[in-house]
Amino acid sequence: MSQPLRLRKNADRRLKAGHLWIYSNEVDTRATPLKAFQPGDLARVEAANGRALGVACVNPGSLICARIMSRDPAMQVDRSLFVHRFKQALALRQQLYDTPFYRLVNAEGDLLPGLVIDRFGDVAVVQLNTAGMQAQSEAVVEALEKVLKPAAIVFRNDTGGRRQEGLDARVEVVAGTLPDEVLIEENGVRFAAPVLDGQKTGWFFNHRDNRRWLNRHVAGKRVLDLFSYVGGFGVQAAASGASEVLCVDSSATALEGVARNAELNGLHEQVAVGEGDAFEALAALKADGEQFDVVVLDPPAFINKRKDQAGGEHAYGKLNREAMRLLGRDGMLLSSSSSMHLAPERLVNVVRGALRHQDRQGQVIFQGHQAADHPIHPAIPETAYLKALGVRVFRD
Ligand code: SAH
């Protein structure tokens, strides 16, 4: 039986509403000192009146000091719990997609706090983002082997979340052997995903639906894909008939990926790359008198903490203004943000401000989100983070 973790009076309200997190100031540390726990220990969570609320994994040094693994206080956290959750997660993805390329486990959104697993066919890429998940790493691997039988399992344990939890950064193949190139297909287009040295797990599955939407608006068009990474938007646009695509990223490795992905689809003539800072690239393109029919903006999150709010919104504003300046008379902007702290209506406001600044008219004709393999936990706002607006930009 695991140790109890007693909450202060009324601190059980959020859990009762369905949330999975416990903050350190919600613990009755006189009754159950956090010091008594090692990072990753399991605890039986109790309300102030002693009623059991579930089983959680604890990290005494973290602001979010415990995360609920099951609302059943008698639940064993072991391989069978992971097998059960993985099967539930897999059933949803198989219902959603015909091909085995997706986010299989979306942490809290799949009731597995701190655990992310992306599936690239028979390669599984895992991020253990909390001390609790780190402690369960063996059970995670065993359960994955049982449910998915992957040819290789990669730990991409080099995330910012781990740093906050006091965990080290490490990337390793923990089971099987990795093929020379990990290939996926998305919206009918083939990609190589750099799972060992790319961004995050190697691929951003979250934008699948937004890319599919964009693909309908690019035939015969000149497209600028800013913050392209390995060409998720840009190479798909070329595959959907764009006459010319320019992918811009500050990472030379990412742009090598763009070239490889263009080649994989026989599109190297349509796809060009530019290495550099996106803001500088926008200024240089403007100075050269370049124009595009479609511009895609998919920057890294500019607002990671509440205190970055004003500065972040300013950066989104500048980016959207500068991008709009490159659009011809009747253009399309896909403007996205992965900042949870930027509310959807604030992104609309960013676009509105940019339109006014450029004295252009705009119509929001698409409101995109993270794809369904990134389920949102209804009680945890942090699990809803991605926004994408499709905006027709014209002159009246
Ligand atoms: N659009 C991509 C994902 C983008 S991830 C897709 O569909 O898969 C964000 C990318 O922005 C990363 O590849 C990173 O290298 C790049 N990046 C970060 N800061 C940048 C900057 N200031 N200028 C240009 N690229 C930047």
Q: Which of 372, 391, 387 is nearest to 341 (CA)?
A: 387
CATH architecture of the domain 3-70 equals Roll (2.30)
pLDDT tens-digit readout, 233-255: 999 999 999 999 999 999 999 99
Dihedral sign (CA 33, 380, 82, 186): negative
**pLDDT number for residue 281:** 98
Test site for ligand 1: of 249, 335, 337, 387, most ligand atoms within 8 A of the Cβ = 249
Token readout for 354 is 């940019």
Q: How far are the Cα atoms of 23, 46, 61, 305 from residue 7, in angstroms, in the given order?
A: 10, 6, 17, 26
CATH architecture of the domain 196-394 equals 3-Layer(aba) Sandwich (3.40)
Q: Which of 390, 391, 381, 279 is nearest to 18 (CA)?
A: 381
Non-local CB neighbours of 339 within 8 Å, separated by 6+ positions: 301, 302, 303, 304, 312, 385
pLDDT tens-digit readout, 329-359: 999 999 999 999 999 999 999 999 999 999 9
- Stated length of the chain: 396
**pLDDT number for residue 396:** 87
End-to-end CA distance of the chain: 70
- Is there an atom of ligand 1 within 6 Å of 204 CB? yes
- Is there an atom of ligand 1 within 6 Å of 280 CB? no
Ligand 1 centroid, distance to 275 Cα (angstroms): 11
Residue with tokens 């950064």: 169
Ligand 1 centroid, distance to 29 Cα (angstroms): 43
- Is there an atom of ligand 1 within 6 Å of 103 CB? no
Ligand 1 centroid, distance to 261 Cα (angstroms): 16
Domain definitions of the chain by residue range: 3-70, 79-176, 196-394
The CATH superfamily holding the domain 79-176 is RNA methyltransferase domain (HRMD) like (3.30.750.80)
Provide long-range contacts, Cβ within 8 A and 24+ apart, for 73-76: 73/44, 73/45
Q: State how far the Cα of 383 lies from the Cα of 370, in Å rounded to an integer.
A: 10
Q: State how far the Cα of 381 lies from the Cα of 38, in Å rounded to an integer.
A: 28
Q: How far are the Cα atoms of 28, 152, 235, 242, 308 from residue 263, in angstroms, in the given order?
A: 59, 25, 10, 15, 39
pLDDT tens-digit readout, 19-33: 999 999 999 999 999
**3-state helix, strand and coil shares in percent for the chain, rounded to the nearest 5:** 35, 30, 35
Non-local CB neighbours of 233 within 8 Å, separated by 6+ positions: 207, 210, 211, 214, 225, 296, 298, 334
Ligand 1 centroid, distance to 207 Cα (angstroms): 13
Low-confidence residues in the chain, pLDDT < 70: 1
- State whether residue 308 is helix, strand or coil: helix
**pLDDT number for residue 115:** 98
